[in-house]
Structure 1
Amino acid sequence: MKRKILLDLIIKYNHLKNYIKDLGSLCVAFSGGVDSTFLLAAAHQVLENKAMAVTVRSSMYTQREFNEAKSFAESLGVKHIIMDANEYNIKEFVDNTKDRCYFCKHAIFSMIKEAATNNNILYVADGSNIDDNDDFRPGMRAIKELKVVSPLKEAQLKKEEVRQLSKQMDLPTWDKPSFACLASRIPYGTKITKEKLEMVEQGEMYLIDLGFRQFRVRHHGEIARIEVLPEDRKRFFSEGLLDEVVREFKQIGFNYVTLDLEGYRTGSMNEILTEAEKKS
């Protein structure tokens, strides 16, 4: 069974490399996460100086994430362009509509496409994998409209397979937790501000420093709703830790601090949307 899994993985990786090779040149939208790091490493391996990375810096991603992305690109020796987003000029983003991600992705990937064109790169790629089809992701519509390619999807790679291949390639992100855009921590219909995103970032960086790996801090006005993995929930039943977390989160600016009893799960803010709303 293990041999078959390994063989399937090799086949998919070879498919990925052949697909990238056929593109001729590629610009990777590089966040520094598990998927885009793996994709950039593969593209650089196949295309060498015909592969480049663009990181769009914004308040939607933590400074720690940005620093890690910059450091990895430097270690790889790939051309890396850093651009600044103007996300607060996007009304739908600030208003936090249910299709916020579409408008934001459209603006950001338009910037990346322009950078690619200016550097004579034919294609722009995102790091989405086939597991990303399972959640409500309006940003994928923008990806299709702008003709951005998704090599990991083309190779039918799942998140866990990307991690396995990343480990084989000795990439530092192979076991890195997934960290989505910080705007996903704020309920739809609640305006997004720089201050709110900074509060979320501070809360999440604090939890990382405490040793938590996979979690979310959801911003509900005065309330912070913390999601951690089911096996990590028991850590919060320490009076000392509870007091410490509450004290820190109140210093950040929250008046109330709660632990979500369901635990961490991706797309929890999408749970309130009906299927009709997702399709509209």
Structure 2
Amino acid sequence: MAKKKTARSARRAASTRTSRSKRGGESGAPRKRTATSAKKKRAATGASTNGKPARAARRPRALRLRESQAARKARAGRILAKLRELYPDADCALRHASAYELLVATILSAQCTDERVNMVTPNLFRMYPDAKALAAASQEDLEAAIRSTGFYRNKAKNLLGMARKVCDEFGGEIPDSMDQLLTLPGVARKTANCVLGTWFGKNVGIVVDTHVGRLAQRLGLLRTAKDDKDAVKIERDLMELFPEKDWTFLAHALIQHGRRVCAARKPKCSECVLAEDCPSAE
């Protein structure tokens, strides 16, 4: 009987060693991570794979504070008052002398700094002083003139399409309504809001660029937007909190504050006058 038990025990031990060997090599050795699981872990932690930069992390979600809409609106009022004190003359940084020039400059500002656009437009406006002159330009000449703003082929195509439609349908004058502006090539709601509010003095909406989206998220002003790139809902959330008469100023002031104080990577929270009303202040 003892011999039978010993034999069974030996067979069980052998079976266990074989199973372990299949899973992890030598008996008792830890199982190796597969290349796929290792890559997934590195990607999740932001580490690089194969010497290449890791995929960008997901954008931070919009803050959801436990405050009523009335409390948020009161806090927004305090923020607006402080922005009025800090940037009383906040205005569009793009240099322009007409609705036409502002529209062209705003189209060029996509994926480009205002400083670079302001370096390009003086010569551009000498070459093409109005929509009629721009409509007659060649694609090649226009591309050469705006090349340094980036995405110059697509921008040149949009500028030519915009100018030709303005001449054909609006008598060479930039239209002053949201619906009409949105029919022009290269013009989306942000560009239309900029032209309407800055040149025509019409507070139809709020310009939402990268600075406005970032500050709205950090200040906890978003109710429905999922993150700082959800432009349509960001605009809607801000319009609910601020008086219509202040919409154009608000956008320009937030943009200035984003450039000077609340930078994307290293916000200067210790210097920020909005810190008392900012849930993200450090």
TM score, norm. by length of structure 2: 0.24
Max radius of gyration: which structure?
2
Q: Which structure is higher in strand share?
A: 1
